Amino acid sequence: MSRWDGIDEFVATAEAESFSRAAARLGLSTSGVSRAVAGLEERLQTRLLYRTTRRVSLTDAGRAFLARCRQLIQDRDEALAAVGEEDGEPRGLLRMTCSAAYGERFVAPAVNTFALAHPRLSIEIDLDDAVRDIVSEGFDLAIRFGRLTDSRLIAKRLASRTRRLCASPDYLARAGAPERIVDLEAHACVLGASDTWPFRDGEREIAFQPNGRWRCNSGQAVLDAALSGLGVCQLPNFYVDAAIAQGRLVPLLEDHRPGDEGIWAVYPHLRLLPAKVRLLVEHLERALAG
């Protein structure tokens, strides 16, 4: 039995607070992960985890051991990556996550061309509008928008986006066009996941709370509703620019358009960034900047 046995399983379980979620992350069975952690505890003669029917939590000894194990795993993985990529060619598995709509339209096509150029690399893309914890869930890379606050992550700006307010010509023919932000209070607003719409009035940022009878957490569905004439929407420019150029949507309050938001590649702090992550970030920077 290797002295490493159970360490990966222990770290995954501690971070996921669940044997089943740790098993899914590692691609193992739940019972196998549980046995591995139990075997590690037996060798150490120390309980590392408290187990209940609902969750798993760390003991004091487990908390101290977790920090050391994370460093061991990081050192091991960096060493293996450095040896495996001595020729500069990325290989192995790269796991990344991004929001669904932006990922489908822009990130996945860019990653496809990267994958074709690097046949030794396997890539898994998780498209999910939820903000995933890439450290605890074992992702190598995420694409994020706006302000970033997680100090465990390094961020590199890839591109930018802005939000545009617009409505269909049919809707505006019926309801008229708002001339001021406050005029939106009298309009039907097609709502997405956010409860507020950002605007700018000179140097001042304004958060307007729209009201409407239609809401969906899908940007594409919001776009379709606005095109159908259900009301005014505010969406990232990549949703609406084409429809505006075609005359199917009319831009509104352009003088109050909010400032650009950054589109970022984020990844965990590592002393040695694997070539697969570094090269993909460089590729995405070129692909998304235009």
Secondary structure of 90-141 in the HEC alphabet? Answer: CCEEEEEEECHHHHHHHHHHHHHHHHHHCCCEEEEEEECCCCCCCCCCCCCE
Residue tagged 């932006």 (tokens): 102
Residue 204 CA: distances (Å) to CA of 145, 185, 233, 255, 259: 21, 20, 21, 12, 11
Q: Is the pLDDT of residue 87 over 80?
A: no
Q: How many CB atoms lie within 10 A of CB 212?
A: 16
What average pLDDT does the structure give for the chain? 89
Mean pLDDT of 181-193: 95
Task: Say whether pLDDT at 230 is over 70.
Answer: yes
**Does the pLDDT at position 222 exceed 90?**
yes
CA separation for the pair 177, 170 (Å, rounded): 11
The answer to whether residue 86 scores a pLDDT higher than 70 is: no
Q: Is 92 left (phi over 0), alpha (psi -120 to 50) or beta?
A: left
0.95 cut: is pTM over it?
A: no
pLDDT of residue 215: 94
What is the predicted pLDDT for the residue at 290?
62
Q: What is the mean pLDDT of residues 163-168?
A: 97
Highest mean pLDDT among 20-29, 199-208, 223-232: 223-232
Judge contact between 196 and 209, C-beta under 8 A.
yes
Secondary structure in 3-state letters for 132-176: CCCCCCCCCEEEEECCCCCCCEEEEEEEEECEEEEECHHHHHHHC
The per-residue pLDDT for 130 is 80
Q: Which of 138, 38, 83, 25 is nearest to 275 (CA)?
A: 83
In this predicted structure, the answer to whether residue 155 has a pLDDT above a threshold of 60 is yes
The distance from CA 257 to its chain's CA centroid, rounded to whole angstroms, is: 24
- The CA–CA distances, whole Å, from 202 to 114, 166, 177, 205 equal 41, 20, 21, 8
User: What whole-number distance in Å separates Cα of residue 182 and Cα of residue 13?
Assistant: 50
The highest-confidence range among 22-36, 131-145, 243-257, 260-274, by mean pLDDT, is: 243-257
**Do 182 and 197 touch, CB atoms closer than 8 A?**
no
Question: Is the confidence at residue 250, as pLDDT, over 90?
Answer: yes
d(CA 199, CA 214): 21
Mean pLDDT of 229-242: 95
**What value does the mean pLDDT take over residues 197-204?**
92
pLDDT category of residue 45 using cuts at 50, 70 and 90? very high
Confidence band, pLDDT 50/70/90 cuts, at residue 1:
low
Instruction: Identify the residue with better confidence: 145 or 135.
Output: 145
Q: How confident is the model at residue 187 (pLDDT cuts 50, 70, 90)?
A: very high
Q: Between the ranges 5-19, 73-87, 270-284, where is the mean pLDDT highest? A: 5-19
The mean pLDDT of 218-228, rounded to a whole number, is: 94
| Residue 245 pLDDT exceeds 80 | yes
- Residue 7 clears pLDDT 70, i.e. is over it: yes
